[in-house]
Structure 1
Amino acid sequence: MTTTTSTSTTIAAPSEEVWRLLTDTDWWNRADNGVVDVAGTIREGQQVKLVSELDPKRGFKLKVAEVDQPRSMTWTGGMPLGLCTGRRTFRIEPDGPARCSFTMAEDFTGPLAPLIIRSLPDFQGSFDQFAAALKTDSEA
C-alpha cells in the first residue's frame, strides 16, 4: 500500500463533536475545507459523491466502507477489477474529555496504482485545509 497523502492535527474539542461534523454532509458543503460538494449519506455501506476544489469538474463516487463510531471511518473508490483502489481513512483519537487528534490519509493499491498516483494532483494542501477547517469548526 502506498500512502500518497496524510495530515494530522490536535483538536481542542470532544471526539464526539469532531465525529458529528465529519459525518455531516451539510458541514462538508458549507465549511472552508477544500470540498466543493458532497452528496449522499455518510453512513457505513452508503455511497457518497465528492467534488474537490482540486478538480471541481469531476466527482468521485466513494463507498463508506467501514465505520467505527466515533473513532474511524474508511471510504473506498477506484477502478473496476481492483486495477487501482483508493482508500481514505479518517481517525479520531480521544486525548481526554475535550481534546483529540485527527488524522486523514489516502492510500492507493492495485496494478495501476503507481501510474495513477503520478497523474494525480498534490493532495497535501487540500488535506491540510480540510483538517484546519475541521479543527476550527469543532472548536467553535
Structure 2
Amino acid sequence: MKFFEAEATIYARSSTVWDIITDDGNYTVWDSGITRIEGQVRNGGTIRIRTRTGGNRTFRLRVQQIPGELMTWTGGMPLGLFNGVRTFTLSPHGGKTHMRVTEEFSGPLLDLMWRPAMGQDCTGYINAVKERAELIG
C-alpha cells in the first residue's frame, strides 16, 4: 500500500472551500491538476477525470460525501487489482478551514501502476485549493 497526505490551514470559510472542491465545472479553470472532468461531484455520483500526471488515462471514480465535512473519490480496476481512494476532510476553525487530503493506493498491480508524481498530486491539489479559496474568500 502507498499512502500520501497533505494538509493546510486555509484563510477562508469552510463553505467556500467546500464550494471549490465540489464545483466540477471549474476544476480545469484553477490549477487542480485535473485536466478534464465529466460528471457531477455529488454524493453517490460518478465522475471521470484525467490528470496531468495520468497521461491519457481516464479514471472513473465514485463520489461519497458528508456535505461540508468529508468527501471520498474511490476507483480502481476489476477484481481489486489496483485501487485508489482520495479523501478530503474539512474542519472549520473560526473563519479559517483546516483541510486534509489523503490518497491511498493498493492492489497487486500497484507497482506497475505506480508513478512517483502521484503523491505530488496531493500536495499540489491542496495548495491550489488554498490559493483559490483565499483569493475568493
TM-score if structure 2 supplies the norm length? 0.89
Cα pair 1:92 1:100 within 8 Å, conserved: yes
Q: Secondary structure at the match of 1:30?
A: coil
Tell me the residue number matched to 1:108. 105
User: Do residues 120 (structure 1) and 114 (structure 2) align?
Assistant: yes
Cα pair 2:49 2:59 within 8 Å, conserved: yes
- The one-letter amino acid paired with 1:106 is E
Tell me the residue number matched to 1:80. 78
1:20 and 1:117, CA in 2 relative to 1: closer, same or farther beyond 3 A?
A: farther
Q: Secondary structure at the match of 2:26?
A: helix
Tell me the residue number matched to 1:47. 46
- The one-letter amino acid paired with 2:45 is Q
Q: Secondary structure at the match of 1:103?
A: strand
Shift of 1:56: 2.9
Query: Unpaired segments of 5 or more residues in structure 1?
Result: none
- Aligned pair count? 134
Q: Which runs of 4+ in 1 moved over 3 A?
A: none
Cα pair 2:2 2:106 within 8 Å, conserved: no
Shift of 1:55: 2.1
> Root-mean-square deviation (CA), in Å?
1.5
Cα pair 2:103 2:122 within 8 Å, conserved: no
Shift of 1:125: 2.3
C-alpha separation in 1, matches of 2:124 and 2:33: 6
C-alpha separation in 2, matches of 1:6 and 1:85: 16
Shift of 1:3: 4.4
- The one-letter amino acid paired with 1:121 is R
C-alpha separation in 1, matches of 2:47 and 2:23: 12
| Deviation by residue 1:66-110 (Cα, 9 ceiling, x = unmatched) | 2111010011111112333211101111111x1011111111344
C-alpha separation in 1, matches of 2:58 and 2:112: 19
User: Do residues 130 (structure 1) and 125 (structure 2) align?
Assistant: yes
- The one-letter amino acid paired with 2:24 is T
